[in-house]
Chains A and B, each alone.
Chain A
Amino acid sequence: MNKDRISSGLNRGTTRTKLVPVYIMGKRYQVPDDLTIMTAMEYVGYQLKRGVGCREGFCGACVTVYRSGNDYKLKAGLACQTVVESEMYVAQIPFTPANNAIYDVKELQPSISSIQSIYPELMRCLSCNSCTRVCPQNIEVMDYIQAAIRGDIAKLADLSFDCIMCGICAMRCPAEIVQYNVALLGRRLYGKYLSKKGPYLKKRLEEIREGRFDEGVEELTRLDRKTLSRRYYERDIELG
């Protein structure tokens, strides 16, 4: 077994040496056909500053609008997750200059009127579904906007949960709604006001406030290594 290959993360091989043409903001380049849009841009010489973040599909920095060959449809995907295609035309949208309202969740109600007062453009939704069609996370964006309009904050929160706030929905929306900001507000309202609060956390916080663990943790901090190690290996593990 080649030990070097086990740990090698950089300079990884490609399985095929086939090169395909990709147009980066209109400029034609030839890149290996198993690269992602992001690694293709680096392959041709870009050192990315904008349009790159986590590189793993969670941060939304690299959202890219693209079109393939003679197809007229514009699609959007994450550059870090989308493999190039022959005759792909790509452009990055590293920032969305959309409205980020300022608010204090403590002063809001978990209701449609709160959301509407902060993002009034929400009510202009045309139900055109452009947002859903372009979402790189395959989220049912229009459905959550409609839920917001109806005041169904629970559904808004549930459907929008996986949103990475890349901004492309807002860029495509003819009504100029900032879907991802409406969703974030909705989720915060749900988490703060509507999510059921069970008894365990409250009880534990009381116990801590009353000092129930103070002596115990003090003792633990004074234990020598050997005793601590013994306690650790002897501790019972409750899988339930």
Chain B
Amino acid sequence: MYPDYMRESLRKVERTRPARLKIARSGEKVFPAMSAKDTEEVLRDFHPDYKPDALREVGVGPNKGERITSEVADVLESHSRINPDDFDLSRIDYDTDVLVIGGGGGGAAAALLARENGAKVVIATKLRIGDANSMMSQGGIQAAVNPNDSPLIHYLDAMGGGHFDNKPELVRLLTMDAPGVIRWLEDLGVMFDKDPEGNMVTRLGGGTSRKRLHSARDYTGAAIMRVLRDEVRNHPEDIQVIEFSAAVELLMDDKGQVAGALLYNLETEEYEIVRAKATIIATGGYGRLHIKGFATTNHYGATADGLVLGYRAGANLLYMDAVQYHPTGAVYPEQIVGFLITEKVRGLGGQPVNKHGQLFVFPLEPRDVETACFIRECARRDNGIRTPTGMVGVWLDSPLIEFINGEGTIRRDLPAMYRQFDRFGIDITKEPMLVFPTLHYQNGGLEINVRGETKIKGLYVAGEASGGVHGRNRLMGNSVLDYNVFGRRAGIHAAREARGVKLGKLSLDHVRRYEEDLRESGIRTSRISPILLPDYTRPETKARQLTTHYEGTLR
């Protein structure tokens, strides 16, 4: 239910729709694509990454001296949650071949392939297995399967979207492995949308030059995650899942290898030691850091834990200055601010229009460009619509989808979106949604090579926590692809390597060295990381919690 004062703008959207529909049906481009020059300009002037305080120099660690996202610098320039002297590292609680930190899609894929390659696996996850951004992604996974497409075209699209900063070897694997990933997932039982001939239904995404987004309605992430999780659970003899146990530091040995992790049981507050011959960080993203104060699409636990763990062990970060905002986050009603509205809406023909009902940008520019254009439309051109709580947004004309594709398209292909708004009295088949950019994805991360390795022996990274695959901007559908491709590869290589590993004496000396590094760099702070959970407790409540002591964000 929209407030009355928005009625006039909604009427304008309806009035401009027939003309926009005509162009959409004609097969012509509905709006001119942006040139390289215009792209540069709009990003520079309006993308949040270019704001003066978006970046700051990090004062410690492998990337010392580099300008990275300020909020990430904050969690890196923080103290450990633990005092190394408190731990007797001879007391091992779990001894395994491969430790996977993180229970999302990347972690599940890694565990399954590690197991297939002979390893015993422990998955340690902070919340439940499946509590991850992987479960929430909606619109699709890219793979060059159609006859008019090829991995070479996919390669170009991914590189262009990433501003040509992507590591070529990683993009090669991403695009060449993609069709095989679709086959693997279907063999496990994932139900992709099909046409009557049994070929996968494919759509365009932002920055793609061919239709190659494969989907499962708009529950693609969940469709895949539920199956991967089930498959993990079907192998309890090889894969042990430890839930509500956050890794708070990596363990290393006296030879400089990563040797497992220290886990913190969120419920009993106990610490446990996992010794492992190879460790895979699959901890996902950082949306709950609320970069630049943005609302986020991310799940509750997306707090960059893996970055802290890997960084303290000496692994370096790549492209840690590039934050992805999803152009279409919900801004009304208040209860769903920041929620993801899948790019598939635009893939189906939905159009962003301003308060006058005018289409103001090509609906499927790459996300950073689209985001910058939405911000420009509101901040510079004052063509946004204000909500009662002071948010601002543009309309996303979803009813247009029904006219282009036939009545019933939204109920069939966007059931999650329909349901989300229906819960709040808005029928998106009849009324547009109100949207604005929302914090969405960590473009960079811990740098990996083609085997998923960091430069620290025994330490692998897969999925959103890694850096290099997407350059400085990820395309839609390449993240779900990423965690499958590189989760599998990290699992394979970690298992193989584990066979030949001989671990030395376990140590937390790297944590001691990091604390020294903080001291010597003159960093004075009370911050503690990994933060594990975001802090949503009101000041009034904290004032009454007189006897509690906060370790970062946990009492």
Point out residues on A near B: beta carbons under 8 Å. 1-10, 12-15, 34-36, 39, 42-45, 47-50, 52-59, 61, 81-83, 100, 102-105, 137-138, 157, 161-162, 164-165, 184, 187-192, 195-201, 203-205, 208, 213, 216-217, 220-222, 225, 228-229, 231-233, 235-240
Would you call A47 and B536 a contact (CB within 8 A)?
yes
CB distance from B192 to the nearest CB of A (A): 8
- Render B297-339 as a binary contact track against A, CB cut-off 8 A, 1 for contact: 1011000000000000000000000000000000000111111
Would you call B159 and A45 a contact (CB within 8 A)?
no
Answer whether A238 and B194 are a contact pair too, CB < 8 Å, given A44-B541, A162-B219.
Answer: no
Would you call A7 and B300 a contact (CB within 8 A)?
no
- Report how far A193 CA is from B390 CA in the complex, Å: 51
CB distance from B108 to the nearest CB of A (A): 14
Would you call B164 and A1 a contact (CB within 8 A)?
no
- Render B369-411 as a binary contact track against A, CB cut-off 8 A, 1 for contact: 0000001001100100000111110000000000000000000
Q: List 21 A-B contacts (CB under 8 A).
A: A1-B382, A6-B391, A6-B392, A15-B389, A34-B335, A53-B135, A53-B299, A56-B336, A83-B335, A103-B234, A105-B188, A138-B419, A162-B219, A164-B222, A188-B230, A191-B190, A192-B187, A199-B197, A228-B159, A233-B36, A239-B211
Q: Which of B68-76, B144-152, B461-469 is near enough to bind chain A?
A: B144-152
CB distance from A133 to the nearest CB of B (A): 17
Q: Nearest B residue to A214 by beta-carbon distance?
A: B176
**Interface Cβ pair total, 8 Å cutoff:** 271
- Report how far A146 CA is from B442 CA in the complex, Å: 44
Number of interface residues of B (CB under 8 A): 113
Would you call A191 and B334 a contact (CB within 8 A)?
no
Residues 146 to 176 of chain B near chain A (Cβ within 8 Å): 146-148, 150-153, 155-157, 159-160, 164, 168-169, 171-172, 175-176
Contacts of B33 in A (CB 8 A): 237
- Render B29-51 as a binary contact track against A, CB cut-off 8 A, 1 for contact: 10001001000000000001000
Contacts of B535 in A (CB 8 A): 47
- Report how far A231 CA is from B334 CA in the complex, Å: 44
Pick from A5, A199, A201: contact of B390, CB under 8 Å: A5
Contacts of A191 in B (CB 8 A): 186, 188-192, 227
> Within 8 Å of chain A (Cβ to Cβ): is B415?
yes
Task: Give me the 5 closest cross-chain CB pairs, A-B, nearest first.
Answer: A9-B295, A188-B189, A196-B198, A198-B199, A198-B198
Given A34-B334, A53-B127, A239-B204; 17 other pairs, CB 8 A cutoff: A1-B392, A4-B293, A6-B436, A9-B337, A15-B334, A34-B335, A42-B537, A56-B336, A56-B420, A59-B136, A138-B419, A189-B189, A191-B190, A195-B191, A199-B198, A208-B179, A232-B157
